[in-house]
Amino acid sequence: MRTFFLAAVLLLTAPSARAAFEDAGFGARSAAMADAMTAVPDDIVCAPMNPATLGHLQRPEVETGIRRLFHTSAGATDLSGFVLGGAVPVRQPPFEGGFGVFWHYDDIKDVSLDRTLSFAYGTRNWREVGSAVLDAGVAIKSLTRSGSVPGGRASKAAVDSGAILRLSDDKTLGLSILNMNGPRMDLPNIPDRAPVMVKLGFSQQVRRFKVAMDVTQREASAGYRTTMSGAMGTEYGWSTASFGAFAARTGLTVGGLSRNWSLGAGWRRFGGRLDYAMRIPLSNGSRWGHSVSLSWRFGAWNPEAEYERVLKSEITYRRDLSRALEAAEVKQWKLAEELRALREEMEGLRRDMLTEAAGRGEAEQKLRDAQRRIQLKEMEERHRKAEERLKLLKAEQERMKKMDHELRFREEWQAYQDLKTQGASDLVLIERLRQMLSEFKGLGVDLGEANLELQRLQAK
């Protein structure tokens, strides 16, 4: 009895290790960047921080990893566990976006065993906000906590929601609310809850650097008070011709209960990626945390097949666009014929008026003139409306042709980015850029970014 009492007292007086279901991140890449992933829409590890990022996945992906942590963004802990997740993109309406399933298994020493199973969905190109694109996401989670020393068990459901605003190709804003309903996760002698967390993030790609920043407001939970923390992570990536792509990462977390520095690295070869991260405390202890994760992105190992897929989708779009242009040309021809018939009818009416004026009396002629004038006004109005419709059709044709050039360039640019991600050599990338610049020169497409990329590669 005394042993149980002492254990309960120790747990009640150790707030650094008993808060349930904090945002400990997912995978070693997230850990290396201080878990500042709310606005980073390019990886499966971002979804547990913001489900809206799922809609931006390009290929099916799975990831698993193990971790031993003594510090999180919320504060000190003593956690060991593993994570497992998978996500698939969907390109068929009305569910265009991405679906994901994630499993967290965390053992908090002498406190509890925490398990989280979540099902998430994120949209793709949901709404246009001026020149930006807005996407939204939601996750339904099952939270289960089993007590270690005091025993007991608690199982509840929780909801996460999030949004992503793509300001441009290289700038993104993110907002998410985790554990929106704040479910109680009490154990005997340990009152606790899954805290509500509001996260606001920003990310930007600057050449080979990716910079991400997060600000998080956490609700009071167990022994933790309401806190706010900031996190910033940076990633630098480079590719080689024979050994795949590498990444170096670092991050810093600053908050009322936690200050730590993170370091990490990653290696991608074909569709696989291996990541490692360490977390070095700057306050509240001296034990270093470690994370290792392994992921596989399906369909990413063969650049030629990917390029062929992009070309096939481009051909399909061009065929549909050509059909639309042909239909517009047919409508334009019909309108032109209608205008020609109207002109001939108006000329005939004028000739009839002159002929009748010569053979009829003045009173009758005035009546006929009035009737003809009414008819002419009606014809002129029809003529005016037909010309307006013709102008609109011509403008629509020009807009569709411009969209075709811009879409082709975006697809070519995306294919180039995929080649670079897969570790293509600089010579291949330079040749590809020259082809793109030659093909789209003079078509009204903004080639500034491609020119800068070509200059950068030639300067190496």
Q: Residue 281 pLDDT > 60, yes or no?
A: yes
Identify the CA nearest to 76 among candidates 17, 134, 143, 157: 17
Q: What is the CA radius of gyration of the chain?
A: 32
Of residues 237, 268, 235, the one with CA closest to residue 250: 235
Helices and strands (DSSP H and E) totals, the chain: 6, 15
Helix, strand, coil proportions of the chain in percent (round to 5)?
A: 35, 35, 25
Q: What pLDDT shows up at residue 53?
A: 93
pLDDT in tens, 295-340: 998 875 555 555 565 566 667 667 767 777 777 777 777 777 777 8
Q: Tell me what the mean pLDDT of segment 245-263 comes to.
A: 90
Mean pLDDT of 259-267: 95
Structure token digits, residue 142:
């099952």
Q: Residue 305: what pLDDT?
A: 55
Distance from C-alpha of 36 to C-alpha of 174, rounded to nearest angstrom? 11
Q: Give the per-residue pLDDT at 4.
A: 36
pLDDT of residue 300: 53
Q: What is the mean pLDDT of residues 377-393?
A: 84
Pairwise CA distance, residues 424 & 446, whole Å: 24
Q: How many CA atoms lie within 13 A of 281 on its CB side?
A: 18
- For residue 402, pLDDT over 70 is answered with yes
Where residue 12 falls among pLDDT bands split at 50, 70, 90? very low
Assigned architecture for domain 2-300: Beta Barrel (2.40)
Confidence of residue 112 (pLDDT cuts 50, 70, 90): confident
Sign of the C-alpha dihedral computed for residues 126, 129, 131 and 134 taken in this order: negative
The ranges of the chain annotated as CATH 2.40.160.60 are: 2-300
pLDDT, residue 76, reads 81
Strand partners, 251: 233, 262
Predicted local distance difference test score (pLDDT) of residue 309: 56
pLDDT band at 11 (very low <50, low <70, confident <90, very high): very low
Which token pair is 22?
A: 């904090």
pLDDT, tens only, 419-440: 888 777 888 888 888 888 888 8
What pLDDT score does 17 carry? 41
Residue 397 has pLDDT above 70, yes or no: yes
Residue 240 pLDDT class (50, 70, 90 cuts): confident
| Rounded Cα distance, 56 and 371, in Å | 65
- Packing angle of the helix pair 362-421, 426-440 (nearest 10 deg): 170
Would you state the structure tokens that stand for residue 405, as one six-digit string? 């050039």
* Cis-peptide into 94, omega within 30 deg: yes
Tell me the sheet residues that pair with 121. Answer: 99, 138
* Average pLDDT taken over every residue of the chain: 83
Confidence at residue 3, expressed as pLDDT on a 0 to 100 scale: 36
Task: List the beta bridge partners of residue 432.
Answer: none
Instruction: Say what the pLDDT of residue 411 is.
Output: 82
Averaged over 36-43, what is the pLDDT? 91
Q: Which of 53-67, 188-202, 440-454 has the highest mean pLDDT?
A: 53-67
Both tokens of residue 291? 């994370």
Tell me how far apart the alpha carbons of residues 353 and 342 are, in angstroms, rounded to a whole number. Answer: 17
Residue 366: CB atoms within 10 A of its CB come to 12
Q: What is the pLDDT of residue 343?
A: 79
Secondary structure class of 84 (helix, strand, coil): strand
